[in-house]
Amino acid sequence: GEDGLARPAWAADGLLREYYDTEWGMPIRDERGLFERIALEGFQAGLSWATVLRKRPAFRAGFADFDPDAVAAFDEGDVERLMADAGIIRNRQKIEATIGNARAVQDLRADGGLVDLVWSFRPERTPAPRTMAEVAATSPESVALSKELRRRGFRFVGPTTMYALMEAIGMVDTHLLGSHRRGSSGVSTSVRQPPVRTCGAGAGLGGGEAGWAERAAEGTWAGMGTFRQVSGRSRRRNQARRLGGA
């Protein structure tokens, strides 16, 4: 850019540049914030992230600032209200999925919570792309996260959408080498996850990140143990779908 800082082409100017410089890749570790991000990533599917950013204030107003408890209480009247709101992306399936996902967030609280579940899929190593062509569209971890969230009742959480989430919240760092934002999260550059406890006296399968990791290690999650290598063919072919990590 004119300020001499290296950025990808999608973040060259305007709203996307501000988003790239201040938000994208920064850790989100609160339930409301993570629920919002999952919801918006789902609404973005098939569209540009710039569209979502422009409509984000209206989304927040329409979805009670993405308070999971408030959204979980939405009824058919709220669905119709949102379908009439020109300020958001009016897709009935995605609106209903967001309400259902809020209820799934509530259910997860008894078993570790949304934040611990999502962050337990952080990979041991983060990518180090030099060009956009070297940035994958999915990863073994995003495939597994997608399967687990679907098992838990979430919708519009496919592997590509979940990889976009992982990029956007700093679980992986796909800022290009040379970008002034590379390593800014302070999280994704770590080369190892927290140690996994083994089951034994006093260990158990508790909640929290360690508990999720235990279940992953022991294969007690649906979809675990089905990791696969992501081939070059699965790399992102449409740069527009990467806007904001989308």
- The set of catalytic residues is 19, 41, 49
How many other β-carbons are positioned within 10 Å of the β-carbon of residue 219? 11
Contacts of 171 (CB under 8 A, 6+ apart): 118, 119, 121, 122, 123, 165, 187, 188
Of 242, 77, 106, the C-alpha closest to 174 is 242
Cβ atoms of 48 and 246 within 8 Å: the answer is: yes
CA-derived radius of gyration, the chain: 18
Contacts of 3 (CB under 8 A, 6+ apart): none
Q: How far does Cα 69 stand from its chain's mean position?
A: 20
How far, in Å, CA of 35 to CA of 159, rounded? 17
